[in-house]
Amino acid sequence: MGFYYFPKFILPFLFIPFFVVSCEENAQIFHERVSLLSFMSRIVSDSENSLKNWNSSSVHVCNWAGIRCNIARDRVIELDLSGSSLKGEISPAISNLSFLRILDLSNNLFEGHIPTELGRLFHLKQLSLSSNLLTGKIPVELAFLRELVYLSLGSNHLSGEIPVPISCNLSSLQYLDLSNNSLSGFIPLNHKCELRELRYLLLWSNKLVGEIPQALSNSSKLEWLDLELNSLSGELPSDIVSKMPQLQYLYLSYNFFISHDGNTDLKPFFTSLANSSNLQELELAGNNIGGAIPSIIGDLSSKLVQIHLDDNLIYGSIPPEISNLINLTLLNLSCNLLNGSIPPQLCKLGKLERLYLSNNSFSGEIPSTFGKIPHLGLLDLSKNKLSGSIPDSFANLSQLRRLLLYENRLLGTIPPSLGKCNNLEILDLSHNKISGAIPSKVAGLSSLKLYLNLSSNHLQGPIPLELSKMDMVLAIDLSSNNLSGTIPPQLGSCIALEHLNLSGNSLEGPLPISIGQLPYLKGLDVSSNKLTGEIPQSLQGSPTLKQVNFSFNNFHGNVSNKGAFSSFGIFSFLGNKQLCGSIKGMKSCPKKRPHHLLILPVFLSVLATLILCTLGYPLALKSKFKKQFGIQSGGDLEEGEKERKRLKYPRISHRQLVEATGGFTSSSLIGSGRFGHVYKGVLKDNTRIAVKVLNSRTGHEILGSFKRECEVLKRTRHRNLIKIITTCSKPDFKALVLPLMPNGSLENHLYPSHGLSHGLDLAQLVSICSDVAEGVAYLHHHSPVRVVHCDLKPSNILLDADLTALVTDFGIARLVKGGDESIFVDESASFSSTDGLLCGSVGYIAPEYGLGKRASTQGDVYSFGVLLLEIVTGKHPTDVLFHERSSLHEWVKSHYPHKLEPVVKAMLERCAPQTTQVYDKRIWCDVVLELIELGLICTQYNPSTRPTMSDIAQEMARFKHCLSSPSTTLLIEEEARAKPVFGHNGSIRSQIS
């Protein structure tokens, strides 16, 4: 085959004499060398290390990285560069490798379209382009690859319909993966187009519609069928799967399938699966499938390991025959309409590790036979109507890690034998009718790592001292019981504790100082007790405390609004008549001054007046003299130099900055704004810097911006705020020198047209937003001077090498005095939005700013909410303003809650992992929904109804933890969705007005 494509800069290589390459190479291999060099020319240079020996003319092509040749070494037959972090586009020149058998470019960062020229590789047997950033349609020309056995294009951004000829012409295909894209239309199979050799069909997470085609039944060798997370409909494919005896994995979750006879009969489907003797996993979750579980389920393959039937409309009881599936390790029947008693025969499932039966209507007692399931690690029976007592036999479950029995009707006491479950990490018995004391053996479960929740029961007696042994637990909730006695100081030994709730009991005595010394405590609620004494100063000095509630006790004494208490309002202290202090809304403490002490202030006042008259007049004359003759003591240059020296910043001259940035050329320009431009550069010591040069033509406005940004950067220190290297100030030149962030701004990643997209997945985006929330929460609540950022948006969020987010650009920030947002430190900068400069950028500006209100922390919360909605929807707020004629908040709210499915699905398609990382799609879907709800709350019209940044930071941290550890946090997330999120403000859904 002749040359098909060569860029102009490759053509000169065609005239190089053959003696410049290895003498072993013949004409054919030399031609393929040139094609490979053309392929490499489309790859971004920072990835060339993986192809470093491709540039060597002395190395035979067959010895290049990722290349394999035939025995005669005259043809390239394999190109495997998978997982090489290659960036760029796939060159059509690769089609000149006409003898290629294997082409694997998976797990890279290739962009652009799939070259149609790949259809010329007629000998290709394996084509894998999965886990890249490819866009556009699947080329119909791929149907010319009649010898193709393996085709994988999954986890890209492909759209359009699946070409019909692929299923018609590729009769040898055994593996087809088009999953995790945005493909639409029907599955293109009919009786004229069959894939009889097909063993793996992966189409999950697309936009496919219609019924599963009957022609798929001809693929009788199918072992793996994954169609979940689409919009497929119709009855469950009984006739199709009945002809797949080798089927091992069947995933149909999260579509719109129904059962037979008008969604009332599941028996035909389970009967059809009886022929699949190798079936190992069955997933039908989230389809709203109706009907009862038939007894024939017990006749399914004895190799079945997992069954997911959750989130459906399945009713009736659990058939005892399910116990025949002796190799089952996971059974999930949660969120259905099941009733009756739980069959004790489940104990025959000797290999069962996880059992989910929550959110149904099961009644009767918990079978004591559960104690005979030796490997049971998770048991979730929450949100049912179970009664009776907790079985003592649970003590036999040595592998039990999570026991969730909340929201039932359980009676009796907590069995002390639960203390033998030495691997227990979560114990939740809340919202039942359990009475008696907390057993000391249960309180001493040192294995608890996540949380202990015994709230909303009828527990009595004191808090056991043994609770102090839980030195790894993150949360303890004993609220809404009848506990009495004092709070043991020994709780200070729970050093990992982040949340402690003892509210709604009859506890007496003082609040121990040791509670405030817990190093990670974030939330404390001791409201509605009988506590006395003063609130410990140790709590006020806590660096982590974000939520407290001391209401309705008998506390007394002075409460300061300093330290951790600076962000708490009167609602945290209600019902304590003897409290006084500087908390806003709290009565002031009476001042007691002996009469003889009044003489001292008078004396000091007179003395100060004499000193002022003696020394002040000469200083005033000196100042007047300098002003009269144009002498400026403290001009711009001198002021900037003083500031630099005082902060001990290194000196970098204007000339050094010119050299570092190449003279501030357009090629080094990386950003522009109202007040100037940002350039990238490299100092002589190889320090990579970003230089923010302020536009001197904007006069006093730019001077104020420069001063404000310097003021914020010098007074704040936080891992999620940009750090200043130094400043450079001359009469006609002012610049801030900052570290260059290797991953640019968040805006570059959200909008690839603005720069190179790195394909951030949902976990990374949530982590970034969590970082931003932490940084802004520090500015609002914890920094030495409260700061209102006023311009929170993606372009002002920078990402370092580890994708840690740093908030930057404080040019229009406001420094707030104390806790009063009406008083600004720099009154020259305290203009409102009616003074000609709106506080922020269009689309992110809080609506109250348009009414002339001053900048406030609630305005930053609004901007953060817009940021969340922007990330989830993929819509820039200004685009929505212009095209939809509404704010992003209004647009999302118009879709909430019943029209969010397309939004959520699109988000998951954009932000699925770009690697082979395994992730729980259900958890990801739930997190996206909660992000939407949080964004709607933050962007409410009334500023007073928005949460604080501290609340937001806590929620974002929860989402981040959920995505980073899905296996350990799924149940925490399910519980969190059923409980209030922002304390007294109520749950998320109730706040969306």
| Distance (Å, whole) CA 730 – CA 868 | 40
Give every CB contact of residue 415 below 8 A, 6+ residues apart in sequence. 389, 390, 391, 392, 394, 395, 439
| Distance (Å, whole) CA 416 – CA 805 | 47
User: Phi/psi at 405 (nearest 5 deg)?
Assistant: -125, 15
Q: 174: which 2 tokens?
A: 């055994």
DSSP-based three-state secondary structure for 292: strand
- As beta bridge partners, residue 814 has 788
| Distance (Å, whole) CA 723 – CA 712 | 10
Alpha carbon 594 to its chain centroid, in Å, reads: 59
Contact 289, 311 (CB under 8 A): no
Render 746-796 in DSSP notation, one character per residue: HHHHH-GGGS------HHHHHHHHHHHHHHHHIIIIISSSEEE-S--SGGG
Q: In what order do the strands lie in the sheet with 256-258?
A: 135-136, 157-161, 182-185, 207-210, 231-235, 256-258
R_g (Cα) of the chain, nearest Å = 34
**Which H or E run includes 924?**
helix 921-938
- Tell me if 469 is assigned to a ligand binding site: no
**Which H or E run includes 278?**
none
DSSP-based three-state secondary structure for 895: coil
For residue 156, give Cα distances in angstroms to 162, 204, 874, 905. Answer: 14, 12, 17, 15
| Distance (Å, whole) CA 891 – CA 843 | 12
Residue 459: count of CB within 10 angstroms of its CB:
22
DSSP-based three-state secondary structure for 33: helix
Contact 801, 743 (CB under 8 A): yes
Decide if 826 is catalytic.
Answer: no
First to last CA, the chain: 67
Give every CB contact of residue 71 below 8 A, 6+ residues apart in sequence. none
CA atoms within 13 A on the CB side of 932: 27
DSSP type of residue 681:
E
Contact 133, 113 (CB under 8 A): no
Q: 772: which 2 tokens?
A: 């931003």
For residue 22, give Cα distances in angstroms to 51, 61, 72, 208, 898. Answer: 18, 9, 15, 51, 66
Contact 588, 609 (CB under 8 A): no
Residue type at 33 in one-letter notation: R
Contact 335, 358 (CB under 8 A): yes
Question: According to DSSP H, which parts of 318-452 are helical?
Answer: 440-443
548: nearest Cα among 570, 579, 529, 533: 570
Residue 416: count of CB within 10 angstroms of its CB:
15
Torsion angle of C-alpha atoms 605, 611, 616, 617, degrees rounded to 10: 110
Give every CB contact of residue 642 below 8 A, 6+ residues apart in sequence. none
DSSP-based three-state secondary structure for 403: strand
Catalytic residue, candidates 177, 311, 428, 791 = 791
Q: In what order do the strands lie in the sheet with 337-340?
A: 290-292, 313-316, 337-340, 361-365, 385-387
**Which H or E run includes 137?**
none
For residue 771, give Cα distances in angstroms to 37, 228, 630, 752, 764. Answer: 42, 33, 48, 22, 11
Contact 68, 80 (CB under 8 A): yes
Residues labelled catalytic: 791
Binding-site residue ranges for ATP:
692
Binding-site residue ranges:
692
